[in-house]
Amino acid sequence: MTRLLALLFACLALGLVAAGCGGDDDGGDGGSGSSADTQEQPAPAAEGGGTEVSMKDIKFNPGEVTVKPGDTVTWTNDDTAGHDVTGDNFKSGDAGALQTGDTFEHTFDKAGTFDYVCTVHPGMKGTVKVE
């Protein structure tokens, strides 16, 4: 009788170990599958070579932009007030201030730091860095 009991215990023990291993395998497969699903690829930062500056609340936003030589910066007046863009070698002011929804574009061919202002509002300043 003792031999039979010993065999029974041995079988039970083996069965428990096998069941445990099986459970671990299932869990591992499920984990790897879900981690692959949650991987997200960042969207490519393709902006088409254009940089936008908004005029809002009597500010240029962003106040400083960095572009590459040959890039075009587009200013858009999103404010209720009229604004202009006046730099040393570029300005929107010839036709008067930009009104709401108006845009002004300038292409920066040379490297350098170009400060500009809105002549309507002293203190409303911006910078374009070309590098």
> Which residues in this chain contact Cu ion in the complex, by CB under 5 A?
83, 118, 120-121, 124
Closer to Cu ion by CB, 37 or 88: give it. Answer: 88
Q: How near is the Cβ of 40 to Cu ion at its closest, in Å?
A: 40
Q: How near is the Cβ of 52 to Cu ion at its closest, in Å?
A: 17
Dist. CA 126–CA 104, nearest whole Å: 14
DSSP state of 34: H
Q: How near is the Cβ of 96 to Cu ion at its closest, in Å?
A: 12
Main-chain phi, psi angles of 106, to 5 degrees: -145, 135
Dist. CA 80–CA 60, nearest whole Å: 14
Cis peptide before 42 (omega within 30 of 0): no
Closer to Cu ion by CB, 118 or 130: give it. Answer: 118
